[in-house]
Amino acid sequence: GNSVTQMEGPVTLSEEAFLTINCTYTATGYPSLFWYVQYPGEGLQLLLKATKADDKGSNKGFEATYRKETTSFHLEKGSVQVSDSAVYFCALSDQAGRRALTFGSGTRLQVQP
Amino acid sequence: NAGVTQTPKFRVLKTGQSMTLLCAQDMNHEYMYWYRQDPGMGLRLIHYSVGEGTTAKGEVPDGYNVSRLKKQNFLLGLESAAPSQTSVYFCASSYGAGASLLGEQYFGPGTRLTVT
């Protein structure tokens, strides 16, 4: 079955530091890949996505590239802000049928001023 | 638009009690989902629906039932609550068609349930 593995947190960084959160996946076929973000007390929001190999998703300064050869979708940001403090979830989607998401366990990011 | 709303936001139940969680969406989405979120485990799919009047089991359906009598509403029921069902429950919805929108789900704010 499908599965997603992401690095454990918390990740603590100073403002303007470089961020990488690792994500690898196991899936049959060619899934779409996502990063969702959860701010304190809120539901999840889509941050970015990629639907095929070598696609790069980007939003709000965050980027991730779909690497089929390494089955990875690592999240990066060049300069984090305090407002980026949240929990980040890597996920993949069924290609058909139920269209449900399989999530990683989440990585908490804490950015200190 | 309100997006996806969930009722209630918090609830405490005693073991054996029953309750229903309500999810409503105003985006005319075909697909709706219930997930539970537990520490260190991400979100896991409980049940889902691909359209009005249809429901199906996800990965962790035991102890839960669902109904989708109206397109905009998706109800999650606990018939006899157990401490193992202490969790945060999220409802989500998505479009049913369009490969470009695959996997883009809209989440409600969650319901925090404690079973004592």
Tens digits of residue pLDDT in A48-70: 999 889 999 999 999 999 999 99
Residues 6+ apart with CB under 8 A from A1: none
Which chain A positions have a beta carbon within 8 Å of B90's beta carbon? 43-44
- Residues of chain A with pLDDT below 70 are 95-97
* Residue A106 sits at the chain B interface (C-beta within 8 Å): yes
Looking at the complex, report in whole angstroms how far the Cα of residue A95 sits from the nearest Cα belonging to chain B: 7
Output the CA torsion sign for B12, B14, B15, B19. Answer: negative
Q: Do A43 and B4 touch (CB under 8 A)?
A: yes
pLDDT attached to residue B112: 96
pLDDT attached to residue A8: 85
B99: left (phi over 0), alpha (psi -120 to 50) or beta: alpha
pLDDT attached to residue A100: 85
B76/A72 Cα distance (integer angstroms) = 34
Looking at the complex, report in whole angstroms how far the Cα of residue B105 sits from the nearest Cα belonging to chain A: 7
Q: What is the mean pLDDT of residues B41-45?
A: 90
pLDDT attached to residue B97: 66
Between CA A96 and CA A90, with CA B54 as vertex, the angle to 5 degrees is 40
Residues 6+ apart with CB under 8 A from B14: B81, B115, B116
3-state SS, residue A61: coil
Helix count and strand count (H, E) for chain B: 0, 11
Tens digits of residue pLDDT in B54-80: 999 999 999 999 999 999 999 999 999
Given a cut of 70, whether residue B99 has pLDDT beyond it is no
B84/B86 Cα distance (integer angstroms) = 5
> In percent, how much of chain B has pLDDT > 70?
94
Which chain B positions have a beta carbon within 8 Å of A104's beta carbon? 42
Tens digits of residue pLDDT in B11-26: 999 999 999 999 999 9
B41: left (phi over 0), alpha (psi -120 to 50) or beta: alpha
B104/B107 Cα distance (integer angstroms) = 10
Q: Please give the mean pLDDT across all residues of chain B.
A: 93
Residues 6+ apart with CB under 8 A from A86: A37, A38, A39, A40, A108, A109
Given a cut of 80, whether residue B96 has pLDDT beyond it is no
For residue A19, give the H/E element and its range. strand A19-21
pLDDT attached to residue B39: 85
pLDDT attached to residue A96: 66
Q: How confident is the model at residue B32 (pLDDT cuts 50, 70, 90)?
A: very high
| CA-to-CA dists, residue B65 to B27, B40, B74, B96, angstroms | 24, 25, 11, 22
